[in-house]
Amino acid sequence: MSTQELISALSILADNENVQVTFQESAKGAAICAISALVGGLLMGPRGLAVGGSIGAIAAYGLTEGKFKSLGEIIMNELSESEREALKDHVVNAITNVRPIDAVKVVGLILSNEDIGNVALNAVKSFATERMGLTIID
């Protein structure tokens, strides 16, 4: 089984499930909204909360636009060779722990067997969050 075949299958699986990730931009956007609402409230009272929150939301949108990517895009284009190998090992280990199968058959089963596909997708998500520091958006 080639690493590239497995990465391609995982990318297709992630894209089919429309899994999105963010690079901690959601937290930044929330902080901008909160600070803007606080400043607005301190300066203008209750109406300032609404004005500040609205301005903060628009600013957060502008600062985070385009920062969300699909997990499939990230695993296809942005992983180093060592990260690809680590992901491959992580997914194969997860699948063989659930169902003992030949590692060569993993790629075909990921796309054809829903249960194996779910195990693989969960393994990719855990790899993305634990080892890459990404936040999954479901």
Is the pLDDT at 23 greater than 60, yes or no?
no
Range of the domain at 48: 24-66
Band the pLDDT of 31: cuts 50, 70, 90: confident
Query: Same domain for 80 and 132?
Result: yes
Are 100 and 32 contained in the same domain? no
pLDDT at 135 over 60: yes
Query: Do residue 52 and residue 107 come from a single domain?
Result: no
For range 52-56, the mean pLDDT: 92
Whether 110 and 61 map to the same domain: the answer is: no
Residues 97-106: contacts with CB within 8 Å, 24+ apart?
A: 103/1, 104/1, 106/1, 106/6
DSSP 3-state of 22: strand
What contacts 106, CB < 8 A, 6 or more positions away?
Answer: 1, 6, 91, 92, 95, 116, 120
Query: What is the H or E stretch that residue 47 is in?
Result: helix 46-64
Q: In terms of domains, do 49 and 72 share one?
A: no
Q: In the prediction, which pLDDT does 60 show?
A: 85
Residues with Cβ within 8 Å of residue 82, at least 6 apart in sequence? none
Q: Can you give the pTM of this predicted structure?
A: 0.61
User: Do residues 100 and 123 share a domain?
Assistant: yes
Q: How many CB atoms lie within 10 A of CB 108?
A: 14
Phi-psi region of 54 (alpha: psi -120 to 50; beta: other; left: phi over 0): alpha
Residue-level pLDDT at 103: 67
Q: What tokens were used for 133?
A: 């520091």
Over residues 79-132, the pLDDT tens digits come to: 889 998 999 899 988 888 887 777 677 888 888 888 888 899 899 998 888 888
> Average pLDDT for residues 59-88, to the nearest whole number?
83
Q: Per-residue pLDDT averaged across 58-73, rounded?
A: 79
Count of structural domains, the chain? 2
At 38 the pLDDT is 93
> Tell me, what's the pLDDT at 86?
92
